Amino acid sequence: MKLLSKLAFSAAALFLSTSAMAAQPPWVTIQGITYAGTGCPAGSVSQNISNDYKAFTLLFDEYVVEAGPGVSRREGRKACQINVDMQFPQGWSYSIMDVDYRGYVSLDRGVTGVAQSDYYFQGQRGSARLSTTFRGPIDQDYEYRDSLGISAVVWSPCGASRSLNMKTQIRVDNNRARRGTGLLTVDSVDGQLEQVYGIQWRRCR
């Protein structure tokens, strides 16, 4: 039996905002959001963009990984590629700095879980990676923040509005405890462009 019967869905949140490095541009909007992947197949994600186009919410129905006796190994890893099409004035550039996550994790002793995200801009080779590892035994809602160091910051190109790509994945592994079970979920991703954390702005030179 799948572990979904144990699931009490909670939230995993991604917050985007301005930083003190520079004032926010006079206008910034989210033009649209697209997604694809084993953790977010077509029709499994609900999305909402606020009326002022400065915040979004994605709700996932199937972003869940499991491990344990009788569970297929392919159920232990899922991914979702999220593309956020942002538009902002010429002469500005932005970067992700902080990411907040909330969710649910249940792992037996010896079972591990990993949540990982790569952030990059359309047409660029560089990327920034954030990851968190969970080790069993654990059974709880979780909340954590990953902060990028200055050396890991990836800036959007100056003079062009490029899409922000978020390559996310979650996985669980019971190789060291074959009879152990594990569950890790992502239920929602919320993004805001002001007054929380995450987006750092600078003027182009």
| Tens of pLDDT, residues 56-98 | 788 889 999 999 999 999 999 999 999 988 787 777 777 666 6
Q: Is the pLDDT of residue 198 over 60?
A: no
Report percent pLDDT > 70 for the chain.
71
User: How far is residue 67's CA from residue 78's CA, in Å, rounded to a whole number?
Assistant: 12
Confidence of residue 16 (pLDDT cuts 50, 70, 90): very low
| Tens of pLDDT, residues 115-169 | 998 888 777 776 778 888 999 999 999 877 766 554 556 677 776 667 888 899 9
Q: Are 26 and 194 in contact (CB under 8 A)?
A: no
Question: What is the CB neighbour count within 10 angstroms for residue 128?
Answer: 19
**Average confidence (pLDDT) over 176-185:** 96
Entry field: residues in the chain: 205
Q: Give helix then strand counts, H and E, for the chain.
A: 0, 14
Give me the torsion for CA of 132, 135, 139, 143, rounded to 10°: -20
- pTM greater than 0.85 (yes/no): no
Q: Is the pLDDT of residue 9 over 50?
A: no
Highest mean pLDDT among 13-22, 25-34, 35-44, 93-102: 35-44
